[in-house]
Amino acid sequence: MSEKPAMFPDGTGPSADPAGAHHERRIRSFQPRRSRVTPGQRAALLRTWPRWGFDIDGLHRLDLDELFEGRPVVLEVGFGMGEATARMAADDPDTGILAVDVHTPGQGNLLRLAEEHGLSNIRVGNGDAVILISEMLAPASLSGLRVYFPDPWPKTRHHKRRLIQPEFLDLAAVPLRPGALVHCATDWEPYAEQMLEVLSAHPAYENTRPDGGFAPRPDTGPAARPPTRFEGQGLEKGHKVRDLLFRRC
């Protein structure tokens, strides 16, 4: 049987497994998803990936000053189809958004939006955010971290797959500079409680809320988080959306 040809040969787009055998397998907080890519998304990837995209291979350190032309940089882990990311980039063009996901259609859609609206402050990383944080970012190189609606892994036996854990916060504390804003959001109440617990207990982070609780969704200023389609679906199901705003000490 002949091998199925690569979707993006010769480095023209995101690879299926960018870290390959370079890093040992571990418990992942995500499931790689290469679902159907539309012609428009594929065309956007082919046009823009060499300029605005990169594979997270863990083999080199990123020069964020060069990538973002000296802008302060916020890392966004998981961006879905990218609509909210594009809006945040448009609303704050002086901040660079390093957007990481494993969903190829979402990568293509975000790059399409960036190209259509001239959003030169977005770069898209393909692969594992943990490898990016631990291997490819310099200490104190990030001005913020955004984790919006990560997979809640609701079954008890899968809780170890949740991204916001003490071990992840240990890693993230290194590239986050003092004062960097950590903004998380979820519509899964048990995960929200876990996020609040682990962030509050970690010595590298402090809650921006004087009462030590959840924050209202910021809709203005540099921390503004536009509502997302996924968020709307959760609200329609009766879920309560929780935002958490912490700072790197």
Active-site residue list: 151
CB atoms under 10 Å from CB of 100, counted, come to: 24
Give bridge partners of residue 184 from the DSSP assignment: 147, 244
- Judged on CB neighbours under 10 Å (0-12, 13-18, 19+), 36 is exposed
The DSSP output letter for 1 is -
The DSSP output letter for 218 is P
Residues 6+ apart with CB under 8 A from 9: none
Kindly provide the residue ranges of all beta strands, DSSP E only, lying in the chain, ordered along the sequence: 53-55, 73-77, 96-101, 122-126, 142-148, 176-186, 205-207, 242-248
Q: Please tell me the number of Cα atoms within 13 Å of 30 on its side-chain side.
A: 20
The gap between the terminal CA atoms of the chain, to the nearest Å, is 56
- Judged on CB neighbours under 10 Å (0-12, 13-18, 19+), 229 is exposed
